Homo-oligomer: A and B are copies of this chain.
């Protein structure tokens, strides 16, 4: 019967949304033919309620039935093998819904007649031998907790499940004035249980992995289930050139989704980067938004989250350890000893591992028996011959540890003098983080991890993680990190937190996978809002040319964030010192400074237009901004080609303060969209760099150092010439000189070096030196951080 039922196209099978691990052995036994199952035996649904697994098995059943009945109202429902207390409860509830209910044991003689009259059959257990498929009339809905009976159907049902408008319970804000600290606001709000949120946005139970009360990972299988569903609109939040005064891109991102979903009743998702713990304990504090536009609980967001950065650290450092250990072992062993250790006899058998066979194939050796390799082949296979001076793979920690910026490793006697100079980077600067952000599947991630180039051999050929035999282990370490983490805003709307690559030497955008999943979950009319680090000239340019190329996704709207204060600084306002009171230029009306500073806004609007995407300017309002200043910025923005320009107050008012922005974004998303990349990948590396420098930064030209030129030549020769470009340039100016605010012109952009992240898939030219390891100041912010041992509450994160 099982196979018949599963293959009969007339039978509509519905399985309940229970992960397999929730089935008890009794339920599994219940679908095996040798068991005698009837309404009174101890394996029917009623018994299970009182038995061993009721609290996971039955409540979803009851709820799912009730939910289904809304769609199936007034049907004839037959309960088969569902007696006992819950069988009766089900019957009672079904009757209240207006369904006609019958109940029957599996062996009862009247089963065939009853089945014939039923529109819906609810089976508490199955006894396949007794039920010929012909007894079930075409079009009957079967609700079962027996997976074997309907497993084929379940697949079909899941695939065909269509998008529904969310029935989301938003959380109310109790706005206080003056606005309390971020952690006080976060703590004052009780987040919804994350499994409730997951259900509200259409996730199935087995697509969600709960991590505590407020975080969950979402499985990638959803992309397969919803692959035929159209994507929602894709919104990028970018900014003007940053100043020490801050612009608030994250708060705009969060405020915008709070406005869309909690106030305009439009499905929306924010996709954010996971912050590094370095700055959390260093100088910056949290990164979960601020004021009444935050992700909650903010301490979870800012601490370990679901461990993705730790997984990256572990994978990164395993590879680093493998490089140095391999050099040591190669340098201290003969070819034969090395080969015997690499391909040992285990229980009398000697064989290559899969990853070793792959290396043999790359070397053009088609042998599979370790005993048959020639001495030359053994040498080729066993020696990577890494040139230590070319190692580009660095160790990482997720701590601001300045003393690790330049170190010497290998000084213990056990390392036999193979010392070398090395460094630690902050964990988010790892290429593995850039890969996590750009990958599109587990298979793709594994391939990218294998392709990472860590050094050259002594002949100048690239050495990869795959050559070191570590691809599989890296993928195993990253298998959970690839799943985006679901959290919520202060108003209870959904947020994905996933990946946070360093925005200097990498692309600085959150993950492609989170965006893709969110675009399916919001549905065609919904919005996914994500953020690009730094100014639009850096973050947005990389978002379009690198991230959108990796994902194939087309952005609908760019939201460009500006503040009156930051524009005043671009207009020539005085420098700002941390701790000192703000100068009066920033706290009193000064229309001239604003007007002068708008050149930067104008330039960033023009950069956006290079990509053919409509731009909405979001002016993040401070209480010292005068109405005339606000009007002036909006007027200039619109004159400069913005689709609209809107002041917003989400920091003090939550989503309600960003409703006008949300409306403008919605209108802009319906504009004609001519999205295009800035350059073709086929162009030579130098040409691609020049296009970015001239068209985006406004440089007159570029100038490569000899090192940079030789690296370009090397990468081109190694076959990496047609990767996109990821500029490593200061974010504090459109030029390479941080002190040049506004819109600098006439400069020659110096390229001091060129490096590559082959696994992530980009070339990164260095414009000056980029620090990849922050430091702790004299008074790190950990002085204010504390844990109340009684309430378990975190204090002092902001």
Where the two chains meet, the residues of A that have a C-beta atom closer than 8 Å to any C-beta of B are: 19-25, 49-50, 52-56, 58-60, 62-63, 66, 85-86, 88-89, 91-93, 96-97, 167, 169, 171-172, 190-193, 195-196, 199-200, 209-214, 217, 277, 281, 299, 303-304, 307, 310-311, 313-314, 317-318, 320-322, 324-325, 328-329, 333, 338, 341-346, 348, 353-356, 395, 397-412, 414-415, 418, 421, 423, 441-443, 446, 469-473, 475-477, 479-480, 579, 581, 775-780, 782-787, 789-790, 792, 794-797
Q: Which of B88, B277, B317 contacts A397 (CB 8 A)?
A: B317
With A353-B784, A579-B345 known as contacts, the answer to whether A789 contacts B214 (CB < 8 A) is no
- Can you give 5 contacting A-B residue pairs, CB < 8 Å? A314-B399, A321-B402, A324-B402, A405-B411, A475-B786
Closest to A427 in B: B314
Please tell me if the beta carbons of A85 and B93 are within 8 angstroms of each other in the complex. yes
- Within 8 Å CB of A89, what residues of B? 62, 89, 92-93
Name A788's closest neighbour in chain B (CB-CB): B442
Q: Which residue in chain B gives the minimum CB-CB distance to A400?
A: B321
State A529–B482 Cα separation when bound (angstroms). 36
A314 near B411 with CB under 8 A, answer no
CB pair B406 A407 closer than 8 Å: no
Residue from B307, B411, B412, B475 in contact with A787 in the complex, judged by beta carbons closer than 8 Å? B475
Q: Most chain-B CB neighbours within 10 Å: which of A19, A353, A397, A777?
A: A397
Of B63, B167, B338, B443, the contact of A789 (CB 8 Å cutoff):
B443
Given the complex of chains A and B, what is the CA–CA distance between A333 and B313 in angstroms? Answer: 34
Interchain CB contact under 8 A, A303 and B477: yes
Determine the chain B residues whose CB is within 8 A of the CB of A479 once the complex forms.
787, 792, 794
Residues of B within 8 A of A167 (CB): 52
- CB-contact partner of A307 in B304, B322, B348, B442, under 8 A: B304
Which B residues touch A783, using CB under 8 A? 342, 353, 355-356, 469
**Closest CB of chain B to A223's CB: distance in Å?**
14
Q: Quick check: B785 and A317 within 8 Å, CB to CB?
A: no
- Kindly report which residue of chain B lies nearest to residue A320, judged by CB atoms: B401
Which B residues are CB-close (under 8 A) to A471?
786
Chain copies in complex: 2
B212-A211 in contact (CB<8A): yes
State the Cβ distance, A785 to closest chain B Cβ, in Å: 5
Docked CA distance A305–B475 (Å)? 16
Q: Select from chain B the residue with minimum beta-carbon distance to A771.
A: B414
Q: Is the CB of B472 within 8 A of A775?
A: no
| Residue contact A199 to B55, C-beta cutoff 8 Å | yes
The distance in angstroms between the C-alpha atoms of A195 and B777, with both chains bound, is 44
Give A406 to B59 CA distance when docked, in angstroms.
Answer: 58
Question: Who on chain B is nearest to A382 by CB?
Answer: B778
Complex CA gap A469/B786 in Å reads: 10
The closest CB in chain B to the CB of A421 belongs to: B411
Answer whether A776 and B307 are a contact pair too, CB < 8 Å, given A55-B63, A217-B212.
no
A399 — nearest CB in chain B belongs to which residue? Answer: B317
Q: When the two chains form the complex, which single residue of B217, B407, B785 contacts A409, counting CB atoms closer than 8 Å?
A: B407
Q: Which residues of B contact A441 (CB under 8 A)?
A: 789
Q: Which residues of B contact A402 (CB under 8 A)?
A: 321, 324-325, 328, 412, 414-415
Q: A19 touches which one: B88, B193, B307, B325 (CB < 8 A)? A: B193
Q: Is the CB of B304 within 8 A of A480?
A: yes
Complex: chain B residue closest to A413, CB-CB:
B406
Cα A487 to Cα B22 in complex, Å, equals 15
- List the B side residues contacting A480 at CB < 8 Å: 212, 304
Is the pair A777, B310 in contact by a Cβ cutoff of 8 Å? no
Q: Is the CB of A401 within 8 A of B324?
A: yes
Query: Which residues in B have their C-beta under 8 angstroms from that of A410?
Result: 403, 406-407
Report yes or no: A304 in contact with B299, Cβ–Cβ below 8 A.
Answer: no
